[in-house]
Chains A and B, each alone.
Chain A
Amino acid sequence: MKPVLHWYLQRVTGALLLFLLIAHFWVEHFASEELLRGGLSYEAIRGRISQPLWQGIDIAFLIVALYHGLSGVRNIVLDYSFIGPLAARIVTAVLIVVGGVWAWWGIEAFRNL
């Protein structure tokens, strides 16, 4: 992928993360009716994330966070001269695999609800 796209996606995902993180914390920790009633449970959370809309939001959150975080790690790695072109390519491949496995793992969790 062209470096300009990495840079652009890093910014776009950063902006999305700001919104998704705040929404996530708000819904999980402050706005849940069950939580307010003191009864937050696995069942209550499963009820919410069984809904396709919440699944979509959470999967988007997962992918956006993974891209932003792992692309950030790659960006830091590329700042170091002692990491040569081959090592940089290996790091990129490892990060892609890590991202793919993590995304698959997270999405799988929704299928087993």
Chain B
Amino acid sequence: MADRDLNQYRVEVSRSEDGISAGVRRFVVQLEERMTVLDALFQIQREHDETLSFRCACRVGMCGTCAMSINGVPGLACKTRPKELGKGVLRLAPLPHLPVIRDLVVSLDPFFKQWKEVLPAFRPADANAKTPAVIPASSEFAQAIPRKRDCITCGACFAACGVKATSGEYLGPAALNRAFLRILDPRDGAKKERVERINAERSGVWRCHTQFNCGAVCPKKINLTDTITRLKRGLLFPGRLMR
């Protein structure tokens, strides 16, 4: 222990059970420089309070299950280092705009309900094709989208969106990004339906007010506002989705 450089943090965790707030509990943890918020939570669970609830799976920023509000900003607990936040205090709370199950665990049902709205699965234009539909790496589609494909459905963008705070219907940035990828795919057979859904006035792209919160918190650095703006432009000038 003595040869390790430890930093002390005060962690304030919003607790709740069955949707009823149980206030904020404070803990003190000792973390090494490279340790993450998730490490702090495990330390609390091990040493202070084994009833503390939070979610995680991959611990390397791949699965999206550990998203929570960290000092007021949605992010992944396993990718956020307290050291980089620069303060001795960590305020942890469940993701906003989603129903809380317990402590830091939220239900992502509203997020996935909107995700399903845009028909996220690939629907081939030619369902009876004998050969696989290939997207050449040099094609405009393949070149335009690499980063936009990286979504891990963590819900951080959904929680950061100011419009989601008031609108249950709004599809949200991640679902719209998914729709964008599908609509852009030259093999897609359900363009018309998807376009209808993203074009709906109360739930589609028109609810986005270009606040940029979504892209700012996305752990995969997807420029979601750019996606939504391209969709709007594509609806105004069909054929200009890529530019």
Contact = CB atoms under 8 A, between A and B. Distances in A.
A8 B236 contact: yes
A79 B207 contact: yes
The DSSP consensus for interface residues of chain A is helix
Interface string B213-243: 0000000000000000000100110000000
Contacts of B232: 4, 7
Interface size class of B (residues with CB under 8 A): 10 to 19
A6 B201 CA distance: 10
Contacts of B202: 78, 85, 88
A111 B202 CA distance: 40
A6 B204 CA distance: 14
Interface in B142-172: 163, 166-170
A51 interface: no
Contact of B206 (A7, A85, A88): A7
A4 B166 contact: no
A39 interface: no
Contacts of A80: 166-167
A81 interface: yes
Contacts of A7: 206, 232, 236
Interface residues of A, number: 12
B168 A4 contact: no
Interface in A60-94: 75, 78-81, 85, 88
Given A8-B236, A78-B201, A3 B167 contact: no
Contacts of B80: none
A3 B206 contact: yes
25 contacts: A3-B199, A3-B200, A3-B201, A3-B204, A3-B206, A4-B206, A4-B232, A4-B236, A6-B206, A7-B206, A7-B236, A8-B236, A75-B209, A78-B201, A78-B202, A78-B206, A79-B163, A79-B167, A79-B209, A80-B166, A80-B167, A81-B166, A81-B167, A81-B168, A88-B202
